[in-house]
Structure 1
Amino acid sequence: MATTQRLDSQVILITGGARGIGRATAEALVARGARVVLTDLDQPALDEAVAALGSESCLGVVADVCDLAAMEAAVAAALERFGRLDVALANAGVASYGSVLAIDPAVFRRTVDINITGVFHTARAALPALEQAGGYLLVVSSLAAFAPAPGLAAYNASKAGVEHFANALRLEVAHRGVDVGVAHMSWIDTPLVQDAKDDLPSFRKMLSKLPPPLNRTSPVQACVDAFVAGIEKRSRRVFCPGWVRGAFLNRNAINSRFGTRQTLAMVPEILPQMDAEVRALGRSTSARNVANDERVTGS
């Protein structure tokens, strides 16, 4: 049985920490006495988060997870400010829109880069400090790692990849005293899901056609509670909602011919509509992600 760790002496790094699940988790951790280091690309949102949480408990660092040097600098800033690093939550992630034949290839690459390479950079930068503290890395994957949705291939592939990255890393660092966990969530009412619903009527239609509980969107607080409990227990697996554990255990059945029959039935209607909506938008990801990419490129 996992040992519950006190959080009131912990220093916790959260990537993608300026909004959504990252910020809400930071708020919950600070309320329990932890100190947090938030990284994000959105400087105004990051400044707002730090102001709300209090500079004595929160440090904000503008950093792109796709830039290893930037993540190493963020960890260095955490150590300089708080003297240690106990936990890293690799939370930063994006989604893309459109079928394999319709998605902008550059957006596909960027999605994979953020969702997989970004986790690698977070782990690479944080591991020396985590080893010194006997710490914990929680990697955010998804239900999509083993229950794929049409039109989201880049997201599905990246979340499956990052799950197995974490599985391999767990084997590499266990003898160094570092624990590694993986979080799998279904639809959570985050900006990522909200953006997709706003941009794509086909996405809302797809959700409505899924059987329960797959068609339900959980509140952010449910995910925050799961993450905080996972961090406290140094959990190997974190699931939100709880039924996702059953899906994880039955992933082969989900991807069988029988398990995919309902999804296959909706694809001829949903996917062409989604691709048409993506063409009309003129982008294969949310406007918020486009703005963040422009911050990176300076364009």
Structure 2
Amino acid sequence: MAINDQVILITGGARGIGLETAKAFAARGARLVLTDLDSPALDEAVAAIGADKALGIVADVTDLAAMEAAVAAAVERFGRLDSVLANAGIASYGSVLAIDPAAFQRTLDINVVGVFNTARAAIPELEKTKGYLLVVSSLAAFAAAPGLAAYNASKAGAEHFANALRLEVAHLGIGVGCAHMSWIDTPLVQDAKSDLPTFQELLSKLPPPLNKTTDVDSCVKAFVKSVDKRSRHVYCPGWVRGAGLNRNVINSAVGNLPVLRLVPDILPRMDAEVRALGRSTSARNIANDKRKAGGEG
């Protein structure tokens, strides 16, 4: 089905890749349903796209009932659901011994359980339209970095969830894709760089091309193409595909050597920065958690 005929739901749609991809879909005539915990940013996103083309729903992806309600609202407003972009995700900071356990849990809850809840809520409607679901994973799924164990684990989990889901729903006519991107210049990466100078230092010292940051526009184009083509796999930039094919080499004793040389110096300094912050995730994520606790999602 052409994008101009589709109703597309995007989680984490209030900013970053989610918002920019929504704008690109809207420019091609699609109708959008955006979910997020950040109510003010969500209102701004809908206004930017146009209230006639977009519906904003405050919902926490870790809440299955909230996601089911979001899907129901999408169908009530636009009559159908054709594609879903399971995009919502967060990062957390610090080594396994330094990270706040609650931040580790929250990262897994949003990045893995949130994808499950999104899929679980959407599949009945996607079956009706023979639709498509794109799970947003990451280069981090197969190229681990010290101090980011929660993010690495969650994105690897999201990838394999997509692989299993694809097998389960193919006979229903539903396509499932999985997207892997290098570090993207979004609020998630920008916040990490701002909070932790050692994070930016670590990225700069990773062996190329693992140290490369991708622009948002390239990622948006890849996502739009994936929905248009119902792609099984999406890589942005293209070299990420090679990293995935060579993940066993990257994670071998030899492949680990460049990063292992950095750990004794960078990781203790990163943990010290995390302790000085007094939090193991971005201030933006803390604010969204407060919104959730206040009953907005």
Q: TM-score range by the shorter chain?
A: over 0.9
Q: CA deviation at 1:211?
A: 2.1
**TM-score, structure 1 length as denominator?**
0.98
Structure 2: distance between partners of 1:101 and 1:239: 32
Q: CA deviation at 1:212?
A: 2.0
- The superposition leaves residues 196-250 of structure 1 with CA deviations (integer Å, 9 ceiling, x where unpaired) of 0000010011011112222121110010000000110000000011100000111
1:145 to 114, 119, 141: 141
Structure 2: distance between partners of 1:297 and 1:59: 23
The 10-residue stretch of structure 1 (203-212 or 262-271) with the greater mean CA deviation from structure 2: 203-212
Q: What is residue 41 of structure 2 aligned with on the other side?
A: 45
Q: What is residue 16 of structure 1 aligned with on the other side?
A: 12
Q: CA deviation at 1:148?
A: 0.5
The total of aligned residue pairs comes to 295
1:87 to 83, 97, 112: 83
Structure 2: distance between partners of 1:122 and 1:297: 20
Structure 2: distance between partners of 1:8 and 1:227: 15
What's the secondary structure of 1:29's corresponding residue? helix
Structure 1: distance between partners of 2:36 and 2:60: 7
Matches within 5 A, 1:1-299: 5-298=1-294
In structure 1, the gaps of 5 or more residues are none
Q: CA deviation at 1:297?
A: 1.1
- The superposition leaves residues 41-78 of structure 1 with CA deviations (integer Å, 9 ceiling, x where unpaired) of 01100000101100111000000000001000000000
Percent identical residues: 75
* Aligned partner letter, 1:254: I
What's the secondary structure of 1:215's corresponding residue? coil
What's the secondary structure of 1:214's corresponding residue? coil
* Aligned partner letter, 1:186: S
Structure 2: distance between partners of 1:207 and 1:108: 21
Structure 1: distance between partners of 2:276 and 2:110: 25
Structure 1: distance between partners of 2:200 and 2:164: 35
Q: CA deviation at 1:27?
A: 0.3
- The superposition leaves residues 233-288 of structure 1 with CA deviations (integer Å, 9 ceiling, x where unpaired) of 00000001110000011111111111110000000011000000000000000000
Structure 2: distance between partners of 1:160 and 1:212: 21
- The superposition leaves residues 88-136 of structure 1 with CA deviations (integer Å, 9 ceiling, x where unpaired) of 0000000000000000000100000000000000000000000000000
What's the secondary structure of 1:137's corresponding residue? strand
Structure 2: distance between partners of 1:128 and 1:67: 17
Instruction: Supply the RMSD in Å over aligned alpha carbons.
Output: 0.8
Structure 2: distance between partners of 1:205 and 1:163: 27
Q: CA deviation at 1:298?
A: 2.0
* Aligned partner letter, 1:230: S
Structure 2: distance between partners of 1:150 and 1:265: 11
Structure 2: distance between partners of 1:71 and 1:260: 39
In structure 2, the gaps of 5 or more residues are none
Structure 2: distance between partners of 1:75 and 1:193: 29
